[in-house]
Amino acid sequence: MSYLLHFMDTSQYKTLFLQETEEHLKGINEELLKLENEPHAPSGIDNLFRHFHSIKGMAASMGYETMASFSHQLEDLLDAVRKERINLNQEIVDAVLSGADTLRAFTQLIAEDKPLDMDSQLLSKIQAILTRKEPPAPLLQKEEAVVIPPASAQPAASKLGLSTTMKVDSKVFDNFMGSVGELFTVRSRLREIVTNSFPVEFQEAAHQLGRIIEDLYYAVVTARMIPFEGLTQNLPRIVRDMCKKGGKDVELLIQGGDVKLDRAVLEHMTDPLVHIIRNALDHGIETLEERISLGKPAKGRITVAVARQRNNIIIEITDDGRGIDVNKLKEKALLAGIQEERIKNMADKELLLLICTPGLSLAKEVTETSGRGVGMDIVKGNVESIGGRLEISSYPHQGTKITLELPVTISIVKVLLVSLCDELFAFPISKVLKVMDVNRADIKGDKTCRSVIYNDTEVPIVDLRNILALPSLAEKDPVSVVVIDAKGKISGVIVDDFEGEIDGYIKPLSQPMTRMQGVIGVTVLGDGRPVFLLDPTMLPCPENTYS
Amino acid sequence: MTENDKLLVSLDNETFAVDADAVAAVVETERFFMLPMLKFPFSCPRPVFIKGVITRRGDVVVVIDIGSLLGITASPDRFNQGQAHDTGPYRVAIMKKDASSLGVYLGKKELSFLWSEDLKSLEFEPSGENYIQGLIDPSGRKIKLLDWQRILEETQKAVSCR
């Protein structure tokens, strides 16, 4: 970014500046964590210096003097280490990390067009370190040091060239996906309209258009896919900071970081992943003394493993900590108002999911990071909001495994359309087991508790009209029932009629609908009718539901 | 004082204004579609001021009845048994800011505007009423300036059953 920008309207470059700064900050985090483990790595300091130098240059070009000046201070600190005027130690690493955090906070303020506030305490600390008199660093022997030429000494490029990759704002892809999604809806509509009464040429053209739209969709989805490691880049830092605070030593392993999934799915997983890791660190992994007394390795381990399974992504987060105390969980569940009878009849898997109940926490105390019974509630909500599933397994003193099953992409989903009054609603096909017409004579029970036979098993049914507080339909016989798999349990939903399947471009709900219960998203048909995608897991699940 | 042009909406004997800048479009629709609010397990009463949803350019917009929200008129809802409902087409002003949008049912009355030049000479009185930012008083008639952000928040609360 040229100094000439200083004299121009730089607002149009703000997005690019923020993106590039973020990349440099990620690089700084990685280098610092490496340096902590390998303080002798000679290129580490130089790499760090280059990152801060770039941030300083860009910030100065954009007119963010406070940010440029602060980056310069951090450069000075690293330069002093590089020239062996001060020793690299934990204090310096912490100061540089805090400096990087401050720069990140600056980028947030810049994004919101707010003034930048300098952290004077940190600045004083950096000055104090710089003015301290120390002997040269003994760790790095001069004869072992690898000399890296400064950037200006590198040979200049002999010809011009263009990079084959382009940086594109994710919003561009979101808009692209939106347009493709609309095309998908039109394709579905076209399929409905084009019947044998149309000329063959028309049918072929419609079919070909459908194929091209599908190809375009997959091309956009593929372009929007990013590797899972894009999400986990900051996790090592989070683990490091929490370990320091809690006096624990934990190794974080990430497997399958190159598995790609839709950016939209990853966006939903940012909070859940952090919550789960924080819970594992706070409540799962024991203290050093506890681990040694149990004969466990002193260093705890958290593994995040990602794998693709057909159209799903499986993320497993495992820790080797103390596990979940099921008896304590039962006590807390009772206190939270869950019926004793229900708790008694629960299988372990279902019992463990109770930790996702809002307000229910097994923590002895509320810490800065967890313990209020809010985190797992959010995790489950986020996962289910995109049609995913959460499973927990745990063994005392061995650890806990949390498995998230997520769709690879969430934008275009095959749905079953159903009608109610003259409205259309949809269920995800992945949750629909069967659609069937049931004679009223075959419906057992009374109005409060009805059931039908499905696969030789009695399953409860509910009337969607009743759930949506719609007026009752005049007696229809037979009734149309959608058998769904809700939360791993099977139940039936009575609707007015089935209206076929479509590939729906499901848009997330926008304000003021964002926090609506029981609705995953909405699609708009080619004729302008909205179709809300209902969340089967949120429909009432009566006590006598069968699995 | 907000001196932007204002779109005026008349309801019974009252006149309301919204910032014309916030109005993305005024559209006509033949019907309102249902906003599905689950009765169970939340036992949340359906808010009567929400008329339903419409779609515009692929987006779904929640439409509210201002009169019903402010308690001035009863909102005829085709899903309430025993009540007659007015027939279309219905006019809706779509208010939009960033990713939020809200439709305001305009009834069948004529629309009018209050231009910024006329507003410059007018006084703006603060109002303690719910959802009203203040009062403008041209030619002796009180016009209530709607706080549509506040109305949006109220709608969100009602829709999420919290």
Which of the residues B35, B53, B95 would you substitute to probe the A interface, choosing the one with the greatest number of A C-beta atoms within 10 Å? B35
**Sign of the C-alpha dihedral computed for residues A64, A65, A68 and A74 taken in this order:** negative
Residue A500 in this model has a pLDDT that exceeds 60:
yes
Pairwise CB contact (< 8 Å): B36 & A522: no
Q: In total, how many domains does chain B have?
A: 1
Pairwise CB contact (< 8 Å): A515 & B36: no
* pLDDT (0 to 100) of residue A196: 66
- Amino acid identity at A120: S
Residue A545 in this model has a pLDDT that exceeds 50:
no
Residue A128 in this model has a pLDDT that exceeds 70:
yes
Residue A74 in this model has a pLDDT that exceeds 80:
yes
The candidate with the shortest Cα–Cα distance to A33, out of A230, A304, A243, is A243
* pLDDT (0 to 100) of residue B161: 64
Q: Which B-chain residues 142-161 have CB contacts (< 8 A) with chain A?
A: 152-153, 155-156, 159-161
Pairwise CB contact (< 8 Å): B36 & A507: no
* pLDDT (0 to 100) of residue A87: 81
B1 inside domain: no
* pLDDT (0 to 100) of residue B76: 53
* pLDDT (0 to 100) of residue A141: 38
Torsion of Cα atoms, A324 then A316 then A29 then A89, to 10°: 50
B21 inside domain: yes
Structure tokens at B131: 């959802």
Partners of residue A180 in chain B, C-beta under 8 Å = none
* pLDDT (0 to 100) of residue A156: 46
Q: Pick the residue with more confidence: B68 or A375?
A: B68
Alpha helices in A353-436 (DSSP H): 375-385
Of B40, B46, B155, the CB nearest to A512: B155
- pLDDT, one tens digit per residue, over B62-119 is 999 988 888 877 655 545 433 345 567 888 999 887 778 899 988 776 678 877 777 7
A289, A434 in Cβ contact below 8 A? no
C-alpha gyration radius of chain A: 29
Tell me the mean pLDDT in the region A24-42. Answer: 81
Which of the residues A517, A520, A525 would you substitute to probe the B interface, choosing the one with the greatest number of B C-beta atoms within 10 Å? A517
B103 inside domain: yes
What CATH code is carried by the domain that includes residue B95? 2.40.50.180
Q: Quick one: pLDDT band at residue A149, thresholds 50, 70, 90?
A: very low
Residue of B nearest to A420 (CA): B34
* pLDDT (0 to 100) of residue A267: 82
Pairwise CB contact (< 8 Å): B36 & A471: no
* pLDDT (0 to 100) of residue A9: 56
B110 inside domain: yes
* pLDDT (0 to 100) of residue B42: 53
User: Which residues, in sequence order, are bridge partners of residue A492?
Assistant: A461, A483
Question: What is the C-alpha separation between A545 and B9, in angstroms, rounded?
Answer: 51
* pLDDT (0 to 100) of residue A137: 46
Of A425, A468, A513, the CB nearest to B159: A513
* pLDDT (0 to 100) of residue A2: 41
pTM of the model: 0.61
Closest approach of chain B CAs to the CA of A453, in angstroms?
24
**Residue labelled with tokens 């002796």:** B140
Question: What is the C-alpha separation between A400 and A301, in angstroms, rounded?
Answer: 11
Partners of residue B49 in chain A, C-beta under 8 Å = none
Given CB atoms, is B46 within the 8 Å cutoff of chain A?
A: yes
* pLDDT (0 to 100) of residue A374: 54
Cα distances (angstroms) measured from residue A475 to each of A440, A442, A480, B79: 9, 14, 12, 18
Burial grade of B46 (CB within 10 A; 0-12, 13-18, 19 or more): middle
Which of the residues A177, A511, A539 would you substitute to probe the B interface, choosing the one with the greatest number of B C-beta atoms within 10 Å? A511
* pLDDT (0 to 100) of residue A362: 61
% chain A with pLDDT above 70? 85
A414, A460 in Cβ contact below 8 A? no
* pLDDT (0 to 100) of residue A144: 40
Query: Which of A31-35, A93-97, A150-154, A371-375 is predicted with the least confidence, judged by mean pLDDT?
Result: A150-154
| E-state strands within A178-299 | 225-227, 250-255, 260-262
Query: Which of A1-15, A181-195, A379-393, A518-532 is predicted with the least confidence, judged by mean pLDDT?
Result: A1-15
* pLDDT (0 to 100) of residue A402: 96
> By residue range, what is the domain housing residue B26?
6-160
Structure tokens at A435: 């659609």
B75 inside domain: yes
Pairwise CB contact (< 8 Å): B34 & A423: yes
Of B36, B55, B81, the CB nearest to A528: B55
Q: Pick the residue with more confidence: A361 or A2?
A: A361
Given CB atoms, is B43 within the 8 Å cutoff of chain A?
A: no
B42, B15 in Cβ contact below 8 A? no
Mean of pLDDT over chain A: 80
A460, A449 in Cβ contact below 8 A? yes
What are the phi and psi torsion angles at A255 (to 5°)? -120, 140
Residue A547 in this model has a pLDDT that exceeds 50:
no
Residue of A nearest to B29 (CA): A528
Question: What is the C-alpha separation between A540 and A102, in angstroms, rounded?
Answer: 47
Pairwise CB contact (< 8 Å): B55 & A529: yes
* pLDDT (0 to 100) of residue B80: 44
